[in-house]
Chains A and B, each alone.
Chain A
């Protein structure tokens, strides 16, 4: 700096440095650094603006959202009996309360989700469309549930963060029980699981798959490294067979071939058998992820553990597995996202998930036959919200666990 000033003092003053800070500086550096870059920038900006204006005006003016608003219930819960729709909604309220609890305790991510969910609930709750009064009240109750969770949070946790996990498991269990129904309890008659459809079906199947594939996948990965040949080869065979077959084929086989092997008087519940199929499919992939994550743990870690006198299983559970799982958080979440999207494949065995419900709506109603764009845009946005949430949370977890990693 002082050298530049010195030469400036001697002869002509140096030209001012090009502006590199602020918006203007950024634009100049990145978008208008030469005449050809400027041209490209202008043309692309025009194209983008044209597309954005077109999309927005289509969404607001041209599109006919009747196809969505008149059938919200079909998209969300499928053919679930109308008089029972409060049950999944109460399950949602339970999860909302849980979100409120997390907000108070951890802030950050949970707060964003809690506020977002409450805002969406308020908007949906006040839009005039075909919601029954009870359903509307239960939608509007979501912010209240979040608030309630926020208020009881300190008392619930009381210095033991693990209670939140217990509460979450309990909420999910009660929610599932509500959705399925309980034999002999008035007002909670078990529903025919074949009526469950729409987004609820996608979520339930994804929950099955995600919840069970972690423990089963870890078990398979450990089994694959077992010293017992029988265990080892059973795990290898399972993993390789499942991974070698497309999910659609597995779904077909579970729906149409497996029942042939059962006695005739046993009725197989399609929802459960599909859930188990997706769970096993996901477990095989999870097993390979876990194995890769554990293989990436430095060999010195195992040596140090052995030198300290830890047993083989202690070394695995306390040293290799925790580090291995942390290595593969991005892979795990990627798998969950793809699993969630794959649940829409169940249309192949006649289940009415969100995507299939959209297709059926368009094709079986003459008045909606031209509304495909609205339906698929809606479905895309719903899927995107869930998938983006998962990847957002995973990035936050990675960052939080990054402490002390390397």
Chain B
């Protein structure tokens, strides 16, 4: 076992991972950067298999091949609209793996302790280690060899790390499974909670702390099992309480957790590469959550603990009525317009309308019109979800703009088409201080000359917040399924 070689390989892998993430700063370098990530992973796995993990080679290999086959199936079969589900379920795997590895570390610790005691030697290693003790420690291999050299303080720290790794891993696991269920429509996406609400969570958290305390003071493995169960409950209950539109925050948060779990396990295994990558992933997820929260003008805590922020009075009521329009009217306006902005939302993903949107864009652009897309940071169910869908439909990425890039251009825009988005274009966020989304940055589509809203029917969207945009004088409602509506529109655009 040449440890020096393994660590050198880890250094290379760590650098490659950083480059892989850094390359995502633009679309072209990202295509190269992904290879850095793949090569880094290959180096890391090979170095580990040759080095510290040399036992049961063939089992590892077979399992990796099976895993590869399943992973390949998943990755090639998945629809781009289902990306949020896939990402969520993959997080759950990382979480569960972290729980298993954490338990293993505890079992191994118990085994090593038992063997030392069977030899009549003290364990953890005392300060004045005897020659026999040191010699016996050398008889262990793999992970056990690292454990055998630990002193009492080190063993305690190891246990803290274990508890953390298992706890975060377990929360990530159930949280991700529920998030997956909600995103895939297998669990109702409405915010639900068991009677007791936050008190249940708080009780579970206190219970976890108590179990951790017991375990650290030397109790048996059952404390760890109980702790895991409590963590699983917290993950389940926390995410059950969060509604569909907040999913971007949830998914990025779980992304972050899966990283922290890996880092905690890295500490307990004494593996620096695990720590590095865990920290990279953890901070990445944290930044994403922060960006998403800022885009909704809500604090992280208020999103995670569910429910909207405090409101101080009744929402302003809306006068006027929604005016419907048919495909011919929309087509006429589009034919007259010089510049058009399309605002896609989750409704576009649900209706699988991205190809029709792309076709519409192509037609309008061919007739010399300036067509651009405005993407709100929390549009869809995953950070950057809309970008991926539009890219899949071959919409060139340089006409797909962020909120800050395009918000000032709305007053000069002839026609805005809102497809399946609601809260992110709600003027109440700016006008009505009592609105639940007051202060949230929104796309100011109502400043355009004309706005068409493609929407399945009347009524408020997910959040139940009335949208004054639909009642504005320059707004026309284009009711119907987004894909069908657009397909009706396509042949009459010239």
Q: Do A and B bind each other?
A: no
